[in-house]
Amino acid sequence: MKTTKQLLILIAIFSLSFCGVSFGQTTHVITLNVDEDGVFSLSADPDTEVIDDSSLEDFTILVFEDDEVEWDGNADSGAVVDIEKIKFPRNAKPFKTKNLDGKQNNGKKKARGKIAKDKKNKTYKYVIDFTVDGEPFSIDPGLKVGQ
C-alpha cells in the first residue's frame, strides 16, 4: 500500500515536471510585411509582447531563454519574401548559433532559432537580410531577452 502511494506520487511529480518542460517555451513569429507600395513593416503574433514598434529599426519584442523565434515574410502583392539570414554583431549571440540562415518552407525561406541560456536582461540589435522577388534588402530591429 505504502509503495503504491509512493509510486503514484512519483508519477505525479514526473508528469508535472514533464508538463513544465514541454510547455515552458514559446514560439514567437515575427512577420516582415511588404505592402502594395513596397513599404516594409514588422509585426508579431498576438501572444508576443512588442516593446517598441515606432519604426523598423526600433521594433523590439520580448522573449525569454529557451523561447523560439521565427521570421516569416509576407507581401500583399503575392511576391515571394524570403528571409535569407538573421545576423548579429560579433559580440552578440542570443541564439545557439551566431547567425540564422533562412531555410525553404512552403515555397519561401524562413529563419528560426532558439534563445540560448544565460542571455537574461539583454537587448540585441540584429539585421534581417531578405529578398522580395529576388531583390535584396536589409533592416535592423531589436530583440530583448527578459528574466
Q: Encode the chain (147 residues) as per-residue pLDDT tens digits.
A: 566 655 445 455 544 444 444 446 799 999 999 999 989 999 999 999 999 999 999 999 999 999 999 999 999 999 999 999 999 987 888 998 889 999 998 889 999 999 998 888 889 999 999 999 999 999 999 889 987
| CATH code reported for the domain at 26-145 | 2.60.40.420
* d(C-alpha 18, C-alpha 66), whole Å: 15
CA 103 to chain centre: 14
- What cell was used for 82? 524570403
pTM score, whole prediction: 0.80
* d(C-alpha 56, C-alpha 139), whole Å: 7
The domains of the chain are located at 26-145
CB–CB of 128/141 below 8 Å?
Answer: yes
What SS3 class is residue 64? coil
CB–CB of 138/84 below 8 Å?
Answer: no
- What cell was used for 135? 531583390
Per DSSP, 90 falls in state T
